Amino acid sequence: MSKYSIEEFLKQTEQEDKGQGLFELETPRMLEVNLEGQVWAKAGSMISYNGNIKFEREGLFEHGLGKTFKKAFTGEGASLMKATGNGKLYLADEGKKVIVLDLRNDVIHVNGNDLLAFEPSIKWDIKLMKRIAGMMAGGLFNVRCEGTGMIAITSHYEPLTLRVTPDRPVITDPNATVAWSGNLQPEFQTDITLKTFFGRGSGESIQMRFEGDGFVVVQPYEEVYFKSNS
């Protein structure tokens, strides 16, 4: 059989059940959700499904008035959709690498643009980083995920996890920061000496500084967000 035949192509790419549970990495850049009930996913991330699944846009007051107000300031990047039913759901986001995390009474902060899906058992809240909202296009927000259950996050290319210790703080570019442990509270600083190296509208390099004991996940890519005019 030719290695380029249709049969060989199907053999190499056909969906297969790996028995990994609710969230399954079908490929490094595609998440399979073995749905039996409900899951939250990033709006627009569905690429295929089978079975009896109903999709709903997140209701205006579904998660309370406070989150609705915060969402109005963060734009469409935080929009969620609810998938309910039984079947197989396939999610992806611009070809980014998918990372599945099984939280066990853990807390993690995820960049709002990098949260792909999570179980309903996960408690979440949108956190707008107000101090830099006026410095960066569209500001920057993250989602605090807490509890027990599965979440899926995304990264442009392979992520790198950096340990933060009391004697070794970590400084990152906000646009390259994917997630960080729940006990860390980043501070923001600017470095005017770096302004000639950055094509930013502010003319300054805005950085996130993490101090304490935990970890930060970064990606080898700067994700730039643009404020919607709508």
Tens digits of residue pLDDT in 186-212: 988 877 666 555 554 444 578 899 999
Please tell me the predicted confidence (pLDDT) of residue 62.
56
Please tell me the predicted confidence (pLDDT) of residue 175.
85
CATH assignment at residue 31: 3.60.160.10
Parent domain of 52: 20-218
pLDDT along the chain (230 residues), means of 10: 82 78 93 96 94 83 53 54 95 96 95 93 83 56 92 95 96 92 89 59 71 95 57
Distance of alpha carbon 216 from the chain centroid: 14
Euclidean distance between CA atoms 191 and 207, whole angstroms: 8
Single-letter amino acid, residue 10: L
Please tell me the predicted confidence (pLDDT) of residue 228.
39
Q: Which residues of 207-220 are buried (b: 16+ CB within 10 A; e: fewer)?
A: bbebbeebbbbbbe
Give yes or no for a contact between 147 and 105, defined as CB atoms under 8 angstroms apart.
yes
Single-letter amino acid, residue 24: E
User: Tokens at residue 206, please?
Assistant: 């805005």
Please tell me the predicted confidence (pLDDT) of residue 106.
96
Does any domain span residue 8?
no
Q: Which residues contact 85 (CB under 8 A, 6 or more apart)?
A: 35, 51, 52, 53, 54
Does any domain span residue 183?
yes
pLDDT tens readout for residues 63-89: 555 555 455 444 544 578 899 999 999
Does any domain span residue 89?
yes
* Number of domains into which the chain is organized: 1
Which three-class secondary structure state does DSSP give residue 130?
helix
Using CB atoms within 10 A of its CB, is residue 28 exposed (0-12), middle (13-18) or buried (19+)? exposed
Give yes or no for a contact between 212 and 164, defined as CB atoms under 8 angstroms apart.
yes
Using CB atoms within 10 A of its CB, is residue 158 exposed (0-12), middle (13-18) or buried (19+)? exposed
pTM, 2 dp: 0.83
Does any domain span residue 85?
yes
Q: Which residues contact 68 (CB under 8 A, 6 or more apart)?
A: 60, 61
Does any domain span residue 225?
no
Please tell me the predicted confidence (pLDDT) of residue 121.
96
- CA-closest candidate to residue 212, choices 153, 151, 147, 162: 162
Which three-class secondary structure state does DSSP give residue 155?
strand
Edge to edge, what strands does the sheet with 170-172 contain?
Answer: 170-172, 205-210, 187-191
